[in-house]
Amino acid sequence: MKLQDIVKLNQSFEFDYLSQDRELAQQVQIRLVDLKLLSGVADGAYGPITRQATVKFAQAFDLPELLNAVFAEKLIEAKEVPNTIVLIPTSLPICGVELIKRFEGCFLNAYPDPLTKREPITIGWGSTKKRDGSPWRLGESISQQEADELLILQLERNYLPDLAKIPCWGELNPNQQGALLSFGYNLGSKFYGAPGFDSMTKVLKNRDWDKIRETFIKYRNPGTNVEKGLLARRQAEAELFLTPII
């Protein structure tokens, strides 16, 4: 389905319907990226980030939060959006950022490191540095918008450069890159070729995608109290990696 079909047939859906229609979700994402409400690659993966941008568009034009003919026509025709905060442009795969947000917690008030009870002070989706590189201090807080932008900035600066060094990175589609972005954010961006990551390194080096699911699942810290959560994350990353781009 396309936005034009919604207008022509005068249909109406909840925004979350986009999770069922990848073609429509991708068209919506393309327009939201054009309007600077969304950043990254329009890959048709619908999640919290895309939903947030869709809601912002509706609110900017005083529209109900429904994917109906009025919304679709306005999204097709809009040249700019009033009173919007421009997101940081990024080449990150949206689906990977969505997956990270699904499994990471977001805290808008600065908090101490759980292990040291001191530094590094962390905020948002795990940011330990401000935009200018200075550390956060206890008592400081940020908005959800700032937390989202800090995550993108952190991924661009500290994770994407290392992931881009993986020999096959440029051959991967956005879903595959997104899965590895989540994996790297969780376990470290320099995992390729590092001790303890022989299985993942070998699979990526040989492009042996038949073994990618079982390989993701190996990295779940078996026998620990975090195994259940890590298993769910690894399964989600494997599923995303193996989801073709339509």
The catalytic residues are: 104
User: Which single residue is written with the structure tokens 């009033």?
Assistant: 82
Q: Percentages helix, strand, coil for the chain, rounded to the nearest 5? A: 50, 5, 40
Q: How far apart are CA 125 and CA 195, in angstroms?
A: 27
How far apart, in whole angstroms, are the C-alpha atoms of residue 29 and residue 44?
7
CB atoms inside a 10 Å sphere around CB 27: 21
Q: For residue 81, which of 64, 59, 65, 52 has the smallest C-alpha distance? A: 59
- Give the Cα separation of 63 and 52 in Å (integer): 14
158-165's contacts with Cβ under 8 Å and 24+ in sequence apart are: 158/189, 159/184, 159/185, 159/189, 160/91, 160/92, 161/189, 162/189, 162/190, 162/192, 163/189, 163/192, 165/192
> For the packed helices 174-187 and 94-103, what is the interaxial angle rounded to 10 degrees?
40
> Could you give the count of Cα atoms lying within 13 Å of 99 in the half-sphere of its Cβ?
30
Query: Residue 46 and residue 82: Cα distance in Å, rounded?
Result: 24
